[in-house]
Amino acid sequence: MKRLSVFAIALLLSAANGCSSTRTAEAPVPARLSVTAMPKIDQQKILDHVKVLSSDEYQGRAPGTKGEELSVNYIEG
């Protein structure tokens, strides 16, 4: 009788463990982008933007300053 009780408890624990395990959905693997689908990067445009944002006019762009407001407006534009 004792063997049956131990077996029943083991069976119940095993079943409970199997029911409680959850499988998470795996994220889909993104399709590879072809080189032709990527936009061309214009190095000169990037350099021009960096020069504008790093100029003295933007006063260091610290939070809460006129420089921050100017840089946010520039980036939004």
Question: Among 40, 32, 76, 70, which residue's Cα sits nearest to residue 53?
Answer: 70
DSSP 42: -
pTM for the complete prediction?
Answer: 0.45
Contacts of 68 (CB under 8 A, 6+ apart): 61, 62
Residues in the chain, overall count: 77
pLDDT, tens digit (0-9, with 9 covering 90-100), for 16-34:
665 555 556 676 666 665 5
- Greatest mean pLDDT among 7-11, 15-19, 37-41, 62-66 lies in 62-66
Q: What is the mean pLDDT of residues 60-77?
A: 88
| pLDDT for the residue 76 | 92
Distance CA 8, CA 12 (A): 6
Top pLDDT among 21 and 6 is at 6
Neighbours of 58 (CB within 10 A): 18
Confidence category of residue 43, pLDDT binned at 50, 70, 90:
very high
